[in-house]
Amino acid sequence: MSFENYDWSDVVPIEQDDGPDPLAQIAYDPEYSKAMGYFRALAQKNEHSERALTLTEKIIEHNPAHYTIWHYRQQILFSLNKDLYEELDFIRNQVEQNPKNYQLWHHRQVIVEKLKDCSLESSFTEEVLNDDSKNYHAWTYRQWVIRTFNLWDNELSFVEKLLEKDIRNNSAWNQRYFAIFYNPTKPSEEFLEQEVQYGITKIKLAPNNISPWNYVKGVIAKSKLKIDVLEELCKTLYQQGIISPHALGCLVDIYEDRAKCGSINEKELGIQTCILLAEQHDTIRQKYWNYRKHVLTSIA
């Protein structure tokens, strides 16, 4: 039944109080104002009923970000013991039009928490990520589901699928890190070394793609390896005429470390690489690379 078809004759709507002389009054849709008038009246008596539930649907239609109404809807759903799987469907129907609505995602979380059933959530988030593979809300929610219900096992293969579609998807790379390092089962050193090799393979596919560079450095930092393991890759790329500012930047870091340990040769190499970056290969960050050159030059 739609909201108009219910009997509202016992309800005295409470108008919004904007004060005696409102400064910048919003021109609400009359249907929205009417619905909100009924809401204020129902909220006064804390009514949980079918008509109240339908009312929340009408208001959400006009104003999907109205968090108070979502909260009220949750209360009604639970007191009336409504079918929460139907509610999950309701949310799924809304998400296509409102994929970045905070309230919608939080509402799903509340329902799933109540149901204690996560069986639909992996495919739900996958569907949303098919439309927009970087939707921050979808990734945030997916991480919540994995942590809460311990769904770690299949995540790496899900990430792999997304990376195959787009090797530059930084959200997928972040999820890879999450799936390995936030997993209660800690990765072995051997596994980490394999991940470094995995990352290097992906770097070679698109050396100007910053995501696997950051990922590999992140994995190295958690392992017993040192950043020097990337030296060969960086130099090989340069020798092959493949210019990647990420490779050159990585060499600057390596050379700087060694310069601090006393290597004069590497201090000079570091300075030269900074000049290459500042003047030719990463000119947008010229001032930064000149600063790094200055830091290297100052090493005693």
Partner 1 sequence: MHNKFYLMKIILSLMKGFAVLGVLHFQCRASRLPFDASNLAMTYTALTSLLILGDDLSRVDKSAIINAMKYLQKDDGSFTQTYQGMESDMRFVYCACAISYMLNDFSGINIDKVVQYIKESQSYDYGIGQGPGLESHGGSTFCAIASLYLLNKLDEGLLSKDKTIFWLISRQESGFQGRANKPPDTCYSFWIGASLMILDSFEFIDYDQNYNFLMTTRSFGGFSKWPGSYPDVMHTYMGVAGLSLMEESKKLDPALNISLKARKNLLKCVFKSE
Is 91:77 a contact under the CB 8 Å cutoff?
A: no
**How many Cβ atoms sit within 10 Å of the Cβ of residue 130?**
11
Is 106:68 a contact under the CB 8 Å cutoff?
A: no
Q: What is the pattern of x (binds partner 1, CB under 8 A) and - over residues 72-111?
A: x-----------------------------xx-xx-----
* Two structure tokens written together for 171: 């959200």
Q: Does 56 bind partner 1 (CB under 8 A)?
A: no
Separation CA 203–CA 163 (nearest Å):
12
Q: What is the pattern of x (binds partner 1, CB under 8 A) and - over residues 106-135?
A: x---------------------------x-
How far is the first Cα of the chain from the last one, in angstroms, to the nearest whole number? 80
User: To which H or E segment does residue 51 belong?
Assistant: helix 50-62
Q: Which of residues 149-178 bind partner 1 (CB under 8 A)?
A: 168-171, 174, 177-178
- The residue count for binding partner 1 (CB under 8 A) is 47
82, 100, 114, 202: the catalytic one is 100
* Two structure tokens written together for 238: 């340069």
Q: Which of residues 259-298 bind partner 1 (CB under 8 A)?
A: 283-288, 291
Burial environment of residue 7 by CB neighbours within 10 A (0 to 12, 13 to 18, 19 or more): exposed
Closer CB to partner 1, residue 92 or residue 285? 285
Closer CB to partner 1, residue 83 or residue 221? 221
Q: How far is the CB of 106 from partner 1 (least distance, A)?
A: 5
Residue of 50, 67, 153, 191 interacting with partner 1 (CB under 8 A):
67
Is 69:101 a contact under the CB 8 Å cutoff?
A: no
- Rounded to the nearest angstrom, the gap between the alpha carbon of residue 241 and the centroid of all alpha carbons in its chain is 35
Closer CB to partner 1, residue 20 or residue 241? 20
Judge whether 100 counts as a catalytic residue. yes
Separation CA 42–CA 48 (nearest Å):
8
Q: Which residues bind partner 1 (CB under 8 A)?
A: 14, 17, 19, 21, 23, 40, 43-44, 46, 67-68, 71-72, 102-103, 105-106, 134, 136, 139-140, 143, 147, 168-171, 174, 177-178, 182, 209-211, 214-215, 217-219, 221, 283-288, 291
Residues involved in catalysis: 100
